């Protein structure tokens, strides 16, 4: 009888921070052993000349998410997770979003009902909070966190989404107490609105002016302000889709002071610039996301942040819309930058771009790639060590890469439903050829092998990354001490 269900032989395996030659042995959907020369498997894969890496985790993607402006997402959970799998990603974490004036739990339950019959890889959910009522903060959110929804995203911009500073403080006091990770979209809403009004008044409404309206200073200011708010309460937080050098510097400075502040960036800030929005007609809409791509110097600052550990994760921020009236172009050729649906497709291209431009060009090491692509996501969001690592007992989520494969990215070859890619024509070196989720082959040599609905929902644990430092601002600590001395509760 074979010793294992599946053995991956002769590969170069990323294990922890090391890269070693080993056979990976799988039994019951989990990694059962790592051996020099493994016993027989019921099925075997020869990975000679290949890299055997943990399946990627994309912890920031928007899939089949209800839109507050009426746009229709291009992807449902089937097409999005198929696309993810073909790019080497085996776990996605999209967002269950609260509707203004409504409870959160029904939105979560409805989102799970949408995902369950479609997803082909595993998934967890973040929560987006847009209306932090007393009922939500006092009862609903704590209960959801305890049920495995242990990360919360908030916005400092967007009508219908944004929280004011007081609301942010109220929310953070709950996430701190409950041990949830707080994710922040940091842009100064008043600065964006003021800039947009002036641009419209001057008749400057083409896609290229989206980058002007979303000034770097708006991201810089909001990042610094949110860090200060978090420091007041001693709340760990993660800044999503960081695009510029000054916001990167704010995060780095906070980390240097010993704060639990984390950073995420995306391939668009490594590969694109604001100049890509300057296209004839409405073509620039294909590069419209928030924050927008910046400059070549900003790209260099983001790469430096990946190298020195300022950024813990690279996500796609996949938010795919068709290039038509249902999505990007609600007013056709007359669509202005303010009308355009914000977001880019990127689930499938995230890891090949990071591998090719990072590892391939010597900017980051292979262990750094694995951490940025998978391991750190699992650690930040309470999925480690089940996910994000090749280790005994972990789920056998594995991507076998051909590091020499040269692929020209073309929308026609991808598996999302956007119909375009901002990276059209880019050649990358390195692509996953076989992808496993819990030991089952999902993709093999360009062929999908997973059934619709075979992905599993993953409740997330509380992560060590989200634990407070135990050193709130002196004023908070003083108030707590005084309240304690008087035998009273201090609700900070």
Q: pLDDT digits over 246-279, tens only?
A: 999 999 999 999 999 999 999 999 999 999 999 9
Residue 487 lies in a domain: no
Within this chain, do residues 25 and 117 fall inside the same structural domain, yes or no? Answer: no
Within this chain, do residues 33 and 83 fall inside the same structural domain, yes or no? Answer: no
**Antiparallel, parallel or unpaired: β 261-265 and 95-97:** unpaired
- In this prediction, residues 121-141 reach a mean pLDDT of 97
- In this prediction, residues 354-375 reach a mean pLDDT of 98
Residue 473 lies in a domain: no
DSSP single-letter state for residue 394: S
Map residue 341 onto helix, strand or coil. coil
DSSP single-letter state for residue 328: T
Which tokens sit at 285?
């809409």
The predicted pLDDT at position 417 comes to 97
The predicted pLDDT at position 217 comes to 98
Residue 491 lies in a domain: no
Map residue 41 onto helix, strand or coil. strand
* Structural domain boundaries, residue 418: 54-442+457-466
- In this prediction, residues 203-218 reach a mean pLDDT of 98
The predicted pLDDT at position 491 comes to 66
Within this chain, do residues 108 and 26 fall inside the same structural domain, yes or no? Answer: no
Within this chain, do residues 213 and 342 fall inside the same structural domain, yes or no? Answer: yes
Residue 485 lies in a domain: no
Residue 269 lies in a domain: yes
Number of domains the chain contains: 2
Within this chain, do residues 283 and 151 fall inside the same structural domain, yes or no? Answer: yes
Residue 477 lies in a domain: no
What is the distance between the alpha carbons of residues 483 and 474, in angstroms, rounded to a whole number? 14
Within this chain, do residues 307 and 224 fall inside the same structural domain, yes or no? Answer: yes
What is the distance between the alpha carbons of residues 182 and 105, in angstroms, rounded to a whole number? 18
Residue 452 lies in a domain: no
Within this chain, do residues 116 and 28 fall inside the same structural domain, yes or no? Answer: no
- Residue 29: give its domain's CATH number: 2.30.40.10
Contact present, 231 and 255 (Cβ < 8 Å): no
- Residue 88: give its domain's CATH number: 3.20.20.140
**Antiparallel, parallel or unpaired: β 237-239 and 313-314:** unpaired
Residue 492 lies in a domain: no
Within this chain, do residues 41 and 62 fall inside the same structural domain, yes or no? Answer: no
Within this chain, do residues 248 and 360 fall inside the same structural domain, yes or no? Answer: yes
Within this chain, do residues 137 and 257 fall inside the same structural domain, yes or no? Answer: yes
pLDDT digits (tens, 9 = 90+) for 146-176: 999 999 999 999 988 999 999 999 999 999 9
The predicted pLDDT at position 260 comes to 98
Within this chain, do residues 33 and 137 fall inside the same structural domain, yes or no? Answer: no
Structure confidence at residue 69 as a pLDDT band (50, 70, 90): confident
Within this chain, do residues 33 and 155 fall inside the same structural domain, yes or no? Answer: no
Map residue 120 onto helix, strand or coil. coil
Q: Give strand pairing partners of 148.
A: none
């Amino acid at each position: 009888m074979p010793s294992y269900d599946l053995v991956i032989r002769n590969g170069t395996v990323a294990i922890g921070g090391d890269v070693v030659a080993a056979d990976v042995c799988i039994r019951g959907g989990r990694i059962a052993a790592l051996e020099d020369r493994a016993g027989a498997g019921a099925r075997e894969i020869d990975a000679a000349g290949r890299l055997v890496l943990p399946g990627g985790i994309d912890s920031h993607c928007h899939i089949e998410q209800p839109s507050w402006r009426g746009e229709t997402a291009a992807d449902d959970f089937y097409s999005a997770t198929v696309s993810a799998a073909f790019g080497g990603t085996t776990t996605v974490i999209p967002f269950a979003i609260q509707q203004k004036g409504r409870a959160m739990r029904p939105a979560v339950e409805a989102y799970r009902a949408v995902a369950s019959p479609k997803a082909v890889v595993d998934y967890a959910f973040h929560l987006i909070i847009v209306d932090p009522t007393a009922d939500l903060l006092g009862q609903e959110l704590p209960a959801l966190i305890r049920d495995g929804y242990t990360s919360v995203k908030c916005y400092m911009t967007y009508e219908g989404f944004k929280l004011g500073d007081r609301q942010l403080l109220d929310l953070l006091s709950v996430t701190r107490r409950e041990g949830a990770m707080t994710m922040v979209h940091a842009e100064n809403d008043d600065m964006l609105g003021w800039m947009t009004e002036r641009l419209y008044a001057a008749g400057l409404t083409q896609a290229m002016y989206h980058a002007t309206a979303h000034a770097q200073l708006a991201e810089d200011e909001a990042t610094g302000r949110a860090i200060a708010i978090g420091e007041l309460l001693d709340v760990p937080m993660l800044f999503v889709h960081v695009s510029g050098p000054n916001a990167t510097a704010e995060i780095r400075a906070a980390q240097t002071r010993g704060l639990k502040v984390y950073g995420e960036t995306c391939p668009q800030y490594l590969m694109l610039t604001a100049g890509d929005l300057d296209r004839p007609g409405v073509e620039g809409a294909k590069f419209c996301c928030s924050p927008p791509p910046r400059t070549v110097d900003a790209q260099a600052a983001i790469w430096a942040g990946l190298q020195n550990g300022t950024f813990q994760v690279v996500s796609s921020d996949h938010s795919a819309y068709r290039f038509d009236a249902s999505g990007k172009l609600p007013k056709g050729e007359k669509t202005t930058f303010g009308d355009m649906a914000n977001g880019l497709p990127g689930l499938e291209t995230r890891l090949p771009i990071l591998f090719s431009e990072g590892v391939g060009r010597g900017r980051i090491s292979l262990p750094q790639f694995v951490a940025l692509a998978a391991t750190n996501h699992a650690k930040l969001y309470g999925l480690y060590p089940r996910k994000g690592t090749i280790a005994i007992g972990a789920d056998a989520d594995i991507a076998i890469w051909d590091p020499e494969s040269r692929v020209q990215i073309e929308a026609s070859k991808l598996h999302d439903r956007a119909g375009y890619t901002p990276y059209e024509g880019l050649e990358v070196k390195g692509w996953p050829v076989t992808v496993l989720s819990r030991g089952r082959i999902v993709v093999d040599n360009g062929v999908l092998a997973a059934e619709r609905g075979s992905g599993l929902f993953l409740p997330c644990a509380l992560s060590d990354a989200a634990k407070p430092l135990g050193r709130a601002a002196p004023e908070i600590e003083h108030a707590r001490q005084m309240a304690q001395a008087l035998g009273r509760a201090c609700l900070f």
